[in-house]
Amino acid sequence: MSNNKTIKSALISVFSKDGLEPIVKQLDAQGVTIYSTGGTEKFIKDLGINVVPVEDVTSYPSILGGRVKTLHPKVFGGILNRQNNESDVAELAEYQIPQIDLVIVDLYPFEKTVASGASNQDIIEKIDIGGISLIRAAAKNYADVVCVASVNDYAEFLELLKSKNGDTSESDRKLFAAKAFNVSSHYDSAIFNYFNSNHDIASLKISETSGKVLRYGENPHQKGFFFGDFEAMFTKLHGKELSYNNLLDVDAAVTLMNEFKGEAPTFAILKHNNACGLAQRETLHQAYVDALAGDPVSAFGGILISNTEIDKATAEEIHGLFCEVVIAPSFSNDALEILKGKKNRILLIQNDIELPKTTVRSCLNGVLVQDRDNITDALSDLSEATNNKPSKSELEDLIFASKICKHTKSNTIVLAKNKQLCASGTGQTSRVDALNQAIHKAQSFNFDLKGSVMASDAFFPFPDCVEIADKAGITAVIQPGGSIKDQLSIDYCNENNVAMVFTGTRHFKH
């Protein structure tokens, strides 16, 4: 027995009329009876196409300022009836309920209204009732009804109409039902998250309706996916498709460079989510040169990011390095022409959009959610812990190093001098190991650490780190403080003329 159905009647009620005209004309050409309401009804009439007002079916006008239009048994009976059920068919005839084979409906733009900064009253009015009910009803009854719930599906549906002359298979209808429930579940999640913006209810609703299949995950034997609106955040100008690991590195690069937004030209090079080079200079060209000097070995295959437009001189330097991704607010035409010289090199313009306020990661058989670490250590946060006070230039370097430290894997120590990253110890199991790693790395790239500064993501439980740093030539330290043994580190610094400041804020990153 065939499960094919022919569309003979349609209910159309949409907020946005974009893309609707060719569908309406195709339905009319195929002799489909069209029911509609309000603005959609007028739109169809203006096309010169016959349309039956829903009020003629229900014998009720649109009431309560348009809040109630389609919520009626004669509408929902026409959608929810089971065409292979004799009782249902008999009741349709008894109550003069027209069969509806197709529902095209969209929803009030709730998320856009919230994003616009509208008043609570305006937002509440954009909670769709009739539309969401029509979607659920039509999608539930996909055995008999086609539901088109998004303008994004119009082209696919129009092609189906044309290619099959109004016939649909059960698999066709089930696919559109799945798309419809995708729309409705996302809509309800957005409403819940608005009402639960203070997280008074310990419940997590995450919904992303756009996504892409990646070549693979972290390793070739793992499947990988990205869910989110990448195009809202970046304009991709050139290069291959981004991989799972590329995306992780891009995320790390963006969050790090946000610390230097609006500041002097700053350039960073990242590898495996950590900065291996970063410098701030009067010109971007010099910032790049000095960032690369921080670790020219790790920079190979890295992710590059700038806080200002990349110019020709900087692009010429970058072009000599194999790198996966280059990110900037903009590129000059000359720079773009140079950097496009490598066909696989990914070039991204970062758009100015706000990052999510929370971070989410899988954990055990659930997920961990936390507020994003939005505290950036500033001069006003510092308390001087030692008799020896840092100089003006040391204070600038301390804040510079602290920003990098915040975005480096724990345990970490960051060494900097003259607004240049000298080295960092990353992801070590002890703070002493992180410091020794940083010192060894800096020295291996011929950095003179005399007069440099040290940043730590957490407090020092013992004075060993400040002692090692002092002996390496480091003259100023920034750390959260808060250890019951802080005084041991303070005493050592006082006895050896090392300046140390406390921020009061720990910046673990795991």
* pLDDT tens track for 290-299: 999 999 999 9
Residue 171: C-alpha distances to residues 55, 168, 176, 178 (Å): 33, 8, 9, 11
HSE-CB for 130 with a 13 A CA cutoff? 25
pLDDT-derived band at 320, boundaries 50, 70, 90? very high
C-alpha 282 chain-centroid distance: 32
Does the pLDDT value for residue 196 go beyond 90?
Answer: yes
Compute the Cα dihedral for 85, 91, 94, 95 and give only its sign.
Answer: negative
> What letter represents residue 224's amino acid?
G
Q: Is the pLDDT of residue 434 over 60?
A: yes
Write b or e for each residue in 224-259: b if 16 or more Cβ atoms lie within 10 A of its Cβ, otherwise e: beeeeebeebbeeebbeebbbbbbebbebbbbbbeb
Q: What's residue 60's pLDDT?
A: 72
| Cβ–Cβ under 8 Å, residues 501 and 478 | yes
The CA R_g of the chain, rounded to the nearest whole Å, is 31
Banded model confidence at residue 69, pLDDT cuts 50, 70, 90? low
The predicted pLDDT at position 253 comes to 98
**Which segments within 406-495 are labelled E, that is strand?**
413-416, 421-425, 453-456, 476-479
Judged against a pLDDT cut of 70, whether residue 2 lies above it is answered with no
Locus of tokens 């350039």:
267
**Confidence category of residue 70, pLDDT binned at 50, 70, 90:** low
300: pLDDT strictly greater than 80: yes
Here the tokens at position 341 are: 């010289």
pTM score: 0.85
Q: Check residue 65 and give its pLDDT.
A: 72
Which of 64, 69, 65 is CA-nearest to residue 41? 69
pLDDT of residue 110: 94
**CB distance 238 to 331 below 8 Å:** no
What is the percentage of the chain residues whose pLDDT exceeds 90? 87
Residue/partner pairs of 191-195 with CB below 8 Å, 24 or more apart: 191/110, 191/127, 194/110, 194/114, 194/123
Distance CA 125, CA 475 (A): 61
Location of structure tokens 């590129």: 331
pLDDT of residue 38: 84
- Mean residue pLDDT across the chain: 94
| Closest to 104 (Cα-Cα) out of 160, 164, 55, 188 | 160
Distance CA 198, CA 185 (A): 21
Largest CA distance in the chain: 98
**Could you confirm whether 140 is annotated as catalytic?**
yes
The string of pLDDT tens digits covering residues 457-493 is 999 999 999 999 999 999 999 999 999 999 999 999 9
Q: How many of the other CB atoms lie within 10 Å of CB of 105?
A: 26
Averaged pLDDT, 358-366: 93
Band of the pLDDT at 1, cuts 50, 70, 90?
A: very low
Amino acid identity at 134:
L
Q: What is the C-alpha separation between 325 and 182, in angstroms, rounded?
A: 33
59 has a pLDDT exceeding 80: no
> What integer pLDDT is reported at residue 67 of this predicted model?
65
Among the options 186, 205, 238, 272, which is catalytic?
272
pLDDT above 70 (res 66): no
More confident residue, 222 or 130: 222
- Candidates 10, 43, 14, 41; CA nearest to 28 is 10
**Burial of residue 223 (number of CB atoms within 10 Å: 0-12, 13-18, 19+):** exposed
Burial of 293-310, coded b for 16+ CB within 10 Å and e otherwise, reads: bbbeebbeebbbbbbbeb
CA–CA distance, 479 with 345 (Å, rounded to integer): 38
Q: Which is catalytic among the residues 25, 140, 174, 205?
A: 140
pLDDT at 130: 87
Mean pLDDT of 158-175: 94
325: exposed, middle or buried (C-beta count within 10 Å: 0-12, 13-18, 19+)? buried
Question: What are the DSSP calls for 342-379, one per residue?
Answer: STT-EEEEEP--PPPSEEEEEETTEEEEEE-------G
Q: Please say if the pLDDT value at position 119 is more than 50.
A: yes
Give mean pLDDT, residues 58-66: 71
Catalytic annotation present for 407: no
Provide the angle, in degrees to the nearest 10, between the axes of the packed helices 154-164 and 170-195: 160
